[in-house]
Amino acid sequence: MPKNTFYNLSDEKKGRIFDAALEEFSVRTFDQASLNQIIKNAGIPKGSFYQYFENKEDIYLYMAEIILKEKSDILNCVRGIDPDADVFEIIMHTTREFIKQGKEKPGYAEAGMRMKLDNSEIAKRVRKSSAEKFVTMLERDKERGLIKPEVDSQVVINMISTFSLNEYYENGSDKERYLKNLGQAIKIIKDGIAQPKD
Amino acid sequence: MPKNTFYNLSDEKKGRIFDAALEEFSVRTFDQASLNQIIKNAGIPKGSFYQYFENKEDIYLYMAEIILKEKSDILNCVRGIDPDADVFEIIMHTTREFIKQGKEKPGYAEAGMRMKLDNSEIAKRVRKSSAEKFVTMLERDKERGLIKPEVDSQVVINMISTFSLNEYYENGSDKERYLKNLGQAIKIIKDGIAQPKD
DNA sequence: CCATCAAATGACCACCTGGTCTCATGTAAA
DNA sequence: TTTACATGAGACCAGGTGGTCATTTGATGG
């Protein structure tokens, strides 16, 4: 975690450093990202950086934490609206909300996504918990008899999240296309796991 | 492409260099991979390397070409057996064959998979053509009325290939689990896109 | 025996990396 | 005014990168 000297900084400077980290980590993975580039973006000297953070990993985790928090805020907000809503609807809704935010804060969504495909141990650690909520919701639907009992919820969530990630990249700035494809994929999965009524 | 000096080398030396490249590129992405490590693995001096290859990209493409060729050989072989076979069966079969090969040649499959998640332009270029064959086969099934007409074949293939990649990594050396999950995912998709008989 | 020429070689280059260390500066207390 | 101390600052470090180049080696043909 950042040192006290960082938290003592003005909000403006803290923001500048956060943005600089976001700018770099949204374009490169943890290993590839250059610390020198971050401090250049932020306009602070190397020495100052190490006065604020332990090391490169430190600022990465700091940034990741903020992004993930924001993401889970969206999720909690959506769930608040209708606790019994369809899991797939919630996923689509959350994704749409996340993209909407991404338009206002460019790099936000990019960094979040990149974190997923980052193979470094540190990124793996960060992204672990994110899918758990959806798995739980699927399990609930299974108990309700809406989903074939033999289906592995974790597999289903992995299918969606990996596809979502990939399409996000493939389609670049064409978010409409991304959402369309994600919608179709989710529909296919939904049809594929639905418990047929007899 | 490699220079003539490379092809003039003894098979033993060529093999040593290929193995060295495979060893490095199966563990690191193109950008992260170290040329110095490759020449150390191969036991050749730096100067010799540049007598054989134009640059780092050159040897990467050389290696990728060989791996992809091997992969498409498997695919063609499988297709040869039963040209009318189910697309999903073929994918599962190909995957199993590829893993079987991977057991004999460690690093082979790893490098092929890593190529997929490598974000460098050069890796993107390499992996482009790989999915096309499967899309064509799906289109054929659609014309036969086996698949809902509104389904986008590209989306379906992307769903499978991205999931396959992700599971391959998640499950590490547990190939059985990987195949089991892939089988389940494919079944879900198959059920999800099947044209219901009425 | 010599000339030719392709191939082998590793020292070397400029550049970049994450991280350290010393010193200057500003502020606040004594 | 002096002392103390947190912080700003950037030169510097060792180690790595991909790539070059002058030189040596060794085989071939005259």
Of A31, A181, A189, the CB nearest to B32: A31
Rounded CA-CA distance B71/B87 in Å is 16
Q: Looking at the domain B4-193, which fold is it?
A: Tetracycline Repressor; domain 2 (1.10.357)
Higher pLDDT, A162 or B181: B181
Please state the domain extents for chain A.
Answer: 4-193
Confidence (pLDDT) at A19 = 94
Interface contact B188-A152, CB threshold 8 A: no
Q: From residues 22-81 of B, which are strand D contacts by CB within 7 A? A: 33-37, 46-47, 50, 55-57
Give the pLDDT band of residue A68 (cuts 50, 70, 90). confident
pLDDT at position A125 over 70: no
Band of residue A119 on the pLDDT scale cut at 50, 70, 90:
low
Comparison of pLDDT for B174 and B124, the residue scoring more: B174
Do B111 and B63 contact (CB within 8 A), yes or no?
yes
Cα angle, residue A175 at apex, residues A181 and A156 outer, rounded to 5°: 40
Residues A94-110: tens digit of each pLDDT? 889 888 887 777 788 77
Q: pLDDT, tens digit, for every residue of B87-125? A: 899 889 888 988 888 877 778 888 877 776 666 666 666
Compute the mean pLDDT over every residue in chain B, rounded to the nearest whole number: 87
Which of A198, A159, A153 is closest to A182 using CA atoms? Answer: A159
Average pLDDT of A124-152?
83
Nearest to B188 among A31, A119, A193 (CB): A193
Alpha carbon A98 to chain centroid distance?
Answer: 9
